[in-house]
A and B are shown apart, each in its own frame.
Chain A
């Protein structure tokens, strides 16, 4: 499986490294903006912009915990408005808005621009290496079943990404998920719920941490599924170019 071409492209379609295949493909900017709104950093991570994503996630984690934001949201949505006002730490909360809005705006804008670059890369038949073997990892193009990714992600967020070999997202999500499960006491709450002791389930969980769970769960399912489909398409494209370059000789004797 040689790369379909060796020239450096002006608009690269993607980059294969030992840790993952990063590629540009068409996306709905509103969907990316939605994930940034659900948890700042997720939009950028979905795009493959990891440094942006990791730093935004760290910041969100810090300020959310320090400002007691999840408590404030919880109290507001359950009608306990006085508690909501009391619980927040304004010294932190006022810093929240600018970065939050910037994360949404930036990921939206970046998606719009990357969509244009993606079209240009497709038209210029920009090549990508299908296999990278390095000292510590092996990464290669493969056809994968989207529904299988979905099932792995539903079982345990992060595993679906590992299946598609998107290791930075996979290990981040997995570590994040394990950490939140531990701090929110989710496993204990699940056990209490399973045996019908609902009051114990309510008292054992830490709401501040539990409220981080839905965002990471939904995101991991969505993102790993989209990656699987796009990697499959990339496989087809790369193989097409290889075949067209190598097995369409002028000297082939046509049947008619």
Chain B
């Protein structure tokens, strides 16, 4: 009898495995398969120059900083002073930077949508009929995103 489950990467996953081992499921009855995402290797080359994963913030932070500095300087000539000048500059720059990044990275993000799955690790437990309840309990308790087994073999 095999119990299948899916997990996201977290310390709960390791706690779940450790709990199962405590309850007598030996290591040769546990199979963990981390799932790599479609095209990750290829992406390294596509995006070697912008691959910190968050290009949406690059432009916002950079333009925000530059405009904030300009806002502070021009704020000295403005009746509302450098503080409001700086804050206005920061908001304006961050907004423009974000908008530019958002529009230019639209294609990349649409490609990412397909890859945005919650399954990161598949965990398969080979156990006896009478252990199924315990195993499933442990898996649910440790935030498995889904659990399943072949119903036919119950009969």
The distance from the CB of A110 to the nearest CB of chain B, in whole angstroms, is 15
- Asked if A246 and B90 sit within 8 Å, CB to CB, the answer is no
> What's the least CB distance linking B149 to chain A, in Å?
9
Most buried by A among B27, B44, B80, B83: B83
Instruction: Please encode chain A, from 211 to 248, with 1 for each CB lying within 8 Å of some chain B CB and 0 for all others.
Output: 10111011101100110011001011001101110111
A26-B48, A213-B86 given; A252·B31 CB < 8 A:
yes
Given contacts A1-B14, A218-B61, A236-B120, contact A248 B76 (CB under 8 A): no
Interface status of B52 (Cβ within 8 A of chain A) = yes
B54 touches A225 (CB 8 A): yes
**The one of B2, B65, B80, B124 that contacts A219, using a Cβ cutoff of 8 Å:** B65
Residues of the A chain whose Cβ atoms lie less than 8 Å from the Cβ of B80: 193, 198
CA of A217 to CA of B86, assembled, Å: 11
Per-position contact with B for A7-32: 1 when CB-CB < 8 Å, else 0?
00000000000000000011111110
Give the chain A neighbours of B2 by CB distance below 8 A: 255
* CA gap between A215 and B9 in the complex, in Å: 35
Closest to B73 in A: A77
Cβ distance B50 to chain A, nearest Cβ, rounded Å: 5
**Which of A29, A190, A192, A236 is the most central at the interface, judged by chain B CB atoms within 10 Å of its CB?**
A236
Q: Which chain B positions have C-beta within 8 A of A248?
A: 31-33
Residue in A31, A244, A251 whose CB lies within 8 Å of B58: A31
Any A CB within 8 A of the CB of B39: no
Q: Is B72 an interface residue (CB 8 A)?
A: yes
Q: How far is the CB of A120 from chain B (nearest CB, A)?
A: 11
Interface flag for B28 (CB, 8 Å): yes
Report B71-99 residues with CB < 8 Å from chain A CB. 72-77, 79-84, 86, 89-90
Chain A residues whose CB sits within 8 angstroms of the CB of B11 once the complex forms: 1
Minimum Cβ distance to chain B for residue A21 (Å): 16
In the complex, which residues of chain B have a beta carbon less than 8 angstroms from the beta carbon of A255? 2, 124, 126, 150
Q: Contact: B62 with A198, CB < 8 Å?
A: no
| Closest-CB distance, B127 to chain A (whole angstroms) | 11
Whether B31 pairs with A74 at a CB distance below 8 angstroms is no
The answer to whether A189 touches B48 (Cβ under 8 A) is no
Instruction: Pick 24 A–B contacts, CB within 8 A, sort by A.
Output: A27-B52, A28-B51, A31-B62, A73-B73, A77-B74, A119-B44, A122-B44, A146-B54, A189-B82, A201-B83, A213-B86, A214-B90, A215-B69, A217-B65, A218-B62, A221-B57, A225-B54, A225-B57, A230-B53, A233-B53, A239-B9, A239-B121, A243-B34, A252-B28
Contact surface of A with B, Cβ cutoff 8 Å: 1, 25-31, 34, 38, 73-74, 77-78, 115, 119, 122, 143, 146, 186, 189-190, 192-193, 198-199, 201-202, 205, 207, 210-211, 213-215, 217-219, 221-222, 225-226, 229-230, 233, 235-236, 239-240, 242-244, 246-249, 251-253, 255
